[in-house]
Amino acid sequence: MTGAPVIAIRNLRVVRGATEVVRGVDLEVGRGEVIAVVGPSGSGKSTLLRALNYLTPFTEGEVTIAGHRLRPGLCERRDAALLRAVRRRVGMVFQSFHLFPHLTALENVATAPRHVLGLVAGEAERRARALLDRVGLATHADAHPHALSGGQQQRVAIARALAMEPAALLLDEPTSALDPGLVGEVLEVVADLAARGQTMVVVTHEMAFARRVADRVVVLAGGRVVESGPPDAVLDRPRAPETRALLGLDPG
């Protein structure tokens, strides 16, 4: 880890209704670091991730991300400038892609550079084509999302997030909605990003993938970090009973 962390989370709590979904999480992500967040369903993984760009507001604590500080009680309208500044620098990839169905693959990728960053059309398109090429979809630039497979759609979604040249990329279970045969192509793209030094936080169920690309694995259970460390340590010599349960081992 060099210099200031890209993401610093302090004592993050998220209460939704009567439930405390995230119960005090502290985490730092350095530049170029890849964090895999694992844990059982309902452990608060996705909520934690969505709190980082404030798509889900949090109740307590503080998030410093890409040089901006987020605090509880921000308002989409009043604090629009701050939230836009954060989201401009932090990319997000969703479990069910959320591609824009009325736009082609190329337009999906080019729209934010063009309209958020203000690039001229030609420049935005060049950038989009290069990214589609990087995720192996150069020949599908003019296809609409409905004409693409799930794996292809998710690769377009990754290209769309990368088009903003984000300081950090958040991936929320990027392969959970895919047929097993299509998981590999998406993981390859993410692994390639890791190799290029892209800072990433990936919520995932793919343990083998976590072991391969993550610098650190964070295990979340019941809204708390129960264990974290290098993949080998966490996945091969798990100490917390929640981690052992997650890996299908005896409680030890």
- Measured CA to CA in angstroms, residue 133 lies from 22, 100, 129 at distances of 38, 19, 6
User: Is 219:237 a contact under the CB 8 Å cutoff?
Assistant: no
CA atoms within a 13 Å half-sphere pointing along the CA-CB vector of 204: 27
Pairing of strands 200-203, 168-172: parallel
Least distance to another protein from the beta carbon of 101, Å?
5
Asked if 100 is part of the footprint of another protein (rule: CB under 8 A), the reply reads yes
Asked if 53 is part of the footprint of another protein (rule: CB under 8 A), the reply reads yes
Contacting another protein (CB under 8 A), which of 118, 146, 250, 251? 146
Contacting another protein (CB under 8 A), which of 116, 138, 207, 247? 116
Reference 203, options 181, 178, 220; nearest CA is 220
Site string for another protein, 61-80 (x = CB under 8 A): ---------------xx--x
| Nearest to another protein of 16, 84 (CB atom) | 84
How far apart, in whole angstroms, are the C-alpha atoms of residue 238 and residue 233? 7
**Which residues form the interface with another protein (CB under 8 A)?**
53, 55, 76-77, 80, 83-85, 87-88, 90-92, 94, 96, 98-102, 111-112, 115-116, 144, 146-147, 160-161, 164
